[in-house]
A = this chain, B = another copy of it.
Amino acid sequence: MIRNGVMAPELTVAGWLNTPGELSLQGLRGRVVVLHAFQMLCPGCVSHGLPQAVAIHELYPRDQVQVIGLHTVFEHHQVMTADALKVFAHEYRLPFPIAIDLPAATGPIPVMMQKLNLRGTPSLVLIDKAGTIRFTHLGPVGDMQVGNMIGQLLMEGSG
C-alpha cells in the first residue's frame, strides 16, 4: 500500500508557530513525520484536513509520530498573512507545530510546495523514519487509511 519514494527535501520555511524552536526533518529521523499542507481559507482544509491532522497528533506519542502543519499559501497572499495565520491557529486551537512556507522569488507557489510537488490544498505527505516520502495525496483521505499507513511505517526498522 505504501510505495517507496524519494528523499524528502529539508524544510526551508519563513517561520514557525506553536514550537519553541525550529524543526528539521533531519532532526526527526527515527520518527514518522506527517506533513499537512493547508491554507487557512481553504474550506476542505478546515472541514477535513486539519481535524484529521489534530486526530493524528492526539493518537500517537510524540516520540513516534510528529505532525507538522505547512501553510502553503499559493493564492490570496495578501490576506493569508503570518498574522492572520496566528489568529487562525489560536481560534482553531491547533496543537501541533506549523511551518510557514517560504514565498518564492518568482510566482505565487511557495518554495516547499514546489519542492514537494504539491498541486493544491489540503495535501497529506507521509515521511518515514529514514526521511523518505512514502505517500502524497491531494484531497480527503479516510482516517482508517491514514491510520493504516502510519501503523505500517511505525513498524519499519523496528526489527
Given contacts A147-B146, A155-B155, contact A84 B91 (CB under 8 A): no
Complex Cα distance, B148 from A149, in Å, reads 7
Complex Cα distance, B92 from A154, in Å, reads 35
- Chain B residues within an 8 Å CB radius of A41: 84, 87-88, 91
Task: From A74-82, A112-120, A132-140, give the one contacting chain B.
Answer: A74-82
- Chain B residues within an 8 Å CB radius of A142: 55, 59, 143
Task: From A8-16, A23-31, A42-50, give the one contacting chain B.
Answer: A42-50
Q: By the criterion CB–CB under 8 Å, are B151 and A91 in contact?
A: no
- A87's nearest neighbour on chain B, judged by CB, is B76
Render A65-105 as a binary contact track against B, CB cut-off 8 A, 1 for contact.
00000000000101111011001100110000000000000
- Chain B residues within an 8 Å CB radius of A146: 144, 147
In the complex, how many angstroms separate the beta carbon of A15 from the nearest chain B beta carbon?
Answer: 16
Q: By the criterion CB–CB under 8 Å, are A79 and B81 in contact?
A: yes
Q: By the criterion CB–CB under 8 Å, are B144 and A59 in contact?
A: yes
Whether a CB of chain B sits under 8 angstroms from the CB of A145 is yes
Complex Cα distance, B87 from A152, in Å, reads 38
Whether a CB of chain B sits under 8 angstroms from the CB of A156 is yes
Highest count of chain B CB atoms <10 Å: which of A59, A144, A152? A144
A-B contacts, 11 listed (Cβ < 8 Å): A59-B145, A143-B144, A143-B147, A147-B147, A147-B149, A147-B151, A148-B150, A148-B154, A151-B151, A151-B154, A159-B159
